[in-house]
Amino acid sequence: MAIVLISELLGFWQERGATNAVEKLLALVQVKATVLRDGKSQEIPNEEVVPSDIVLLNAGDSIPGDCLILERRF
């Protein structure tokens, strides 16, 4: 019984440490979008993109939601 209890405590402790590590990594790495606001190019977190923003995309960028393509360049 003691071995099972110790095993469960160790598993809980490791899971808690892994969850904390993932939360810290996500806080460091924010996915950002480049948008035109008030005629200026700004980099903002994807969560702050609003319908009136014009999103500037480059190769490899993620699209921060539903977008309408206004222009493309090669």
* Surface-to-core class of residue 4, CB atoms within 10 Å of its CB (0-12 exposed, 13-18 middle, 19+ buried): exposed
pLDDT of res. 66: 78
Full-model pTM: 0.55
Q: pLDDT, tens digit, for every residue of 35-49?
A: 998 889 999 988 888
Q: Is-contact 57 63, C-beta < 8 A?
A: yes
Is the pLDDT assigned to residue 72 strictly greater than 90? no
Calculate the alpha carbon distances from 15 to 24, 37, 60 in Å.
14, 42, 33
Total residue length of the chain: 74
Q: pLDDT, tens digit, for every residue of 17-69?
A: 999 999 898 888 888 889 998 889 999 988 888 888 889 888 888 888 777 87
Q: Is-contact 10 18, C-beta < 8 A?
A: no
Is the pLDDT assigned to residue 74 strictly greater than 80? no
Q: Considering all CA atoms of the chain, what is the largest pairwise distance in Å, rounded to the nearest integer?
A: 68
